[in-house]
Chains A and B, each alone.
Chain A
Amino acid sequence: MFAAYLVPGAAAWAALGLALGVAAVEIAWLPTAAVVASAVYGCAYGAAEVGGSPWPAAPGLRWQVPQDLLIGTSPPRRVLVWGSILGPGFLTRNPYAGFAILPLLVAAVGRVPAVVVVAGLAGVAHAAGRAAALLRDSARPQDDPFALLLSSLRWRLVDGLALLTVAGAAAVVAGFRIR
């Protein structure tokens, strides 16, 4: 099951990394702009998530995997569909703003080989986290909706704190680059 998530996660993110790396070769100021944008985005969304503000909503798609894509399919095919869509994480709704900063951080790295490696590792990390959470959930009874909502709010706080950490780091990196 891990492979069904990890392989698409790594491939999709590495492809994104290659595109961003090539773009950075053509547009010299792109990595510096990505560092500055990471600092601004991290501060804005981090403060909103830590403060518990419902606005602004995390950027991204609202799409969810439709049931009819899975009904009547064999278990291996179902895992493959889930893994291909949820592993990379681009297509489905994500309630945490931490996901949308990832392409900015990848673009900030700059040089093509490093960007591809970092993007591939980010894809593997996201897919592994997603698969681990699914394995965790399948091994225990499902939480009631209220408990799930409380857990989601706690994760939103953690995500906001992580965004602020990233924003602080990006501000320092931007300072070193621009001076």
Chain B
Amino acid sequence: MTAGLDEPQADRSAFDSAVIRTLLAAFALAAGLAVAWLVGGRVIILGVLAVLLAAGNGYGKAYSP
């Protein structure tokens, strides 16, 4: 038993989680490709992403144990 699930349920849950993560990863990668393509590969898009990433990282760091 794992967190109230029997073994087949836990396996299925882990598989679902892996599938969802893979789909999210593919979507994130595609979003980055699409956005940079739409702005014609201009490097400033990396600057914009850096600022957004910095804000999220600063906020999320408070959750680190």
Digit string of B8-51 for contact with A (CB within 8 Å is 1, else 0)? 00000000000001001100111111111100111111110111
Residue tally, chain B, CB below 8 Å to A:
38
| Contact between B31 and A38, CB atoms less than 8 A apart | no
| Contact between B33 and A171, CB atoms less than 8 A apart | yes
* CA of A136 to CA of B30, assembled, Å: 33
Instruction: Give A117's nearest chain B residue, CB to CB.
Output: B47
Q: Please, which residues of chain B bring their CB within 8 A of the CB of A136?
A: 62
| Contact between B58 and A109, CB atoms less than 8 A apart | no
* CA of A128 to CA of B54, assembled, Å: 9
**Residues 4-24 of A contacting B (Cβ, < 8 Å):** none
Counting chain A CB atoms within 10 Å of each CB, the highest count among B44, B50, B58 belongs to B58
* CA of A152 to CA of B59, assembled, Å: 11
Q: Please, which residues of chain A bring their CB within 8 A of the CB of B63?
A: 133, 148, 151-152, 155
Known: A159-B60, A165-B29. A176 touches B46 (CB 8 A): no
Instruction: Give B65's nearest chain A residue, CB to CB.
Output: A148
| Contact between B57 and A109, CB atoms less than 8 A apart | no
* CA of A35 to CA of B35, assembled, Å: 16
A residues with a Cβ closer than 8 A to B are 31, 35, 38, 46-47, 50-52, 89, 93-96, 98-99, 101-102, 105-106, 108-110, 114, 118, 121-123, 125-134, 136-137, 145, 148-149, 151-152, 155, 157-173, 175-177
Q: 9 other contacts beyond A99-B61, A149-B65, A168-B33, with CB at 8 A cut-off?
A: A93-B64, A96-B57, A126-B57, A128-B58, A133-B60, A164-B25, A165-B49, A169-B33, A176-B40
Closest 3 CB pairs of A and B: A168-B32, A129-B58, A176-B41
